[in-house]
């Protein structure tokens, strides 16, 4: 079943072409990769899908609904979640509170009810606390709940970022270079984690990544960008043998 359709989206910054005529169809419960050299337009694709950057041309449909002009928070409400190249955790909040913050947009009580501490406020706060602890335990982070993120190893911070996205109950998860800065052991652990998240939660996942081992081992479909344009699309085996891709990006790495 199709969950996301991107049709001919483009983005220019002045005279610079960040992305030109990019299209993709994302099937539900599929892990897809987007690869390409630095500056190829990969993160721009995510920015346009999530609404962080407006589209110049083209359209985006999510679950058969046009979302091209929706603001970012409305897209998040509908189930589009993402991580970033640079970790964006709240340094002054505990790990547990970082998790809870991600659920704020889904609270059902009003500010007035919170000020009066009406019964359903406490009930929802307990439910959010339980949910946050559940996902921390799910990704093996429960022992870090009271710590500040910046005191934790980089790989643990990356795992926390993944756990936090699950608090938003996404339908599709966009991972922007999740393996950046990780050592080989951490990358293999991340691969297992992504598979686990996808299988257990019936999630659709799209990954922008430079790490070819991760992309080739967990993605069933790969899109390749170069200078803002898609130059190839296919299964990992076909991408490995694609001469244009080899010349533009993979080279001796594969």
Show me where the domains of the chain are located.
1-79+170-254, 90-168
Work out the percent of the chain whose per-residue pLDDT is above 90: 72
Please check the confidence at residue 197 and state whether its pLDDT lies above 70. Answer: yes
Following DSSP, what letter does each residue of 32-73 receive, concatenated?
EEEE-STTSSHHHHHHHHHTSS--SEEEEEETTEE-TT--HH
Work out the percent of the chain whose per-residue pLDDT is above 70: 90
Measured in residues, the chain has a length of 254
Pick 1-79+170-254's CATH classification: 3.30.160.100, 3.40.309.10, 3.40.50.300, 3.20.19.10.
Answer: 3.40.50.300
Confidence (pLDDT) at 115: 56
Please check the confidence at residue 252 and state whether its pLDDT lies above 50. Answer: no
Confidence (pLDDT) at 254: 43
d(CA 17, CA 8): 14
Structure-block tokens of residue 34: 């987007």
Backbone φ and ψ of 82, nearest 5°: -150, 160
Confidence (pLDDT) at 249: 60
Mean pLDDT of the chain: 89
pTM higher than the cut 0.85: yes
Please check the confidence at residue 130 and state whether its pLDDT lies above 80. Answer: yes
Please check the confidence at residue 228 and state whether its pLDDT lies above 60. Answer: yes
Compute, in degrees rounded to 10, the torsion defined by CA atoms 81, 83, 88, 91.
Answer: 80
The residue-averaged pLDDT of 112-121 equals: 57
Sequence-separated (6 or more) residues with CB below 8 Å from residue 135 = 99, 163, 164, 166, 167
Confidence (pLDDT) at 251: 53
Confidence (pLDDT) at 88: 83
């Amino acid at each position: 079943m199709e969950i996301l359709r991107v049709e001919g989206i483009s983005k220019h910054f002045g005279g610079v072409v960040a992305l030109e005529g990019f299209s993709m169809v994302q099937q539900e419960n599929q892990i897809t990769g987007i690869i390409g050299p630095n500056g190829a337009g990969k993160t721009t694709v995510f920015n346009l899908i999530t609404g962080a950057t407006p589209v110049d041309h083209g359209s985006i449909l999510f679950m058969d609904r046009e979302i091209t002009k929706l603001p970012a928070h409305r897209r998040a409400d509908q189930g589009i979640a993402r991580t970033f190249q640079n970790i964006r955790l709240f340094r002054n909040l505990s790990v547990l509170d970082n998790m809870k913050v991600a659920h704020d947009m889904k609270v059902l009580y009003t500010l007035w009810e919170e000020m009066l501490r009406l019964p359903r406020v406490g009930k929802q706060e307990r439910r959010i606390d339980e949910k946050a602890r559940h996902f921390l335990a799910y990704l093996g982070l429960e022992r870090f709940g009271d710590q500040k993120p910046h005191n934790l190893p980089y790989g643990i911070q990356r795992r926390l970022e993944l756990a936090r996205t699950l608090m938003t109950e996404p339908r599709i998860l966009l991972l922007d270079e999740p393996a950046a800065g990780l050592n080989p052991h951490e990358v293999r652990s991340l691969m297992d984690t992504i598979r686990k998240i996808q299988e257990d939660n019936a999630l659709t996942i799209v990954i922008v990544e430079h790490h070819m081992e991760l992309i080739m081992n967990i993605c069933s479909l790969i899109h390749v960008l170069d200078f803002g344009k898609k130059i190839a699309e296919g299964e990992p085996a076909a991408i490995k043998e694609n001469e244009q891709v080899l010349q533009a990006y993979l080279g001796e790495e594969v």
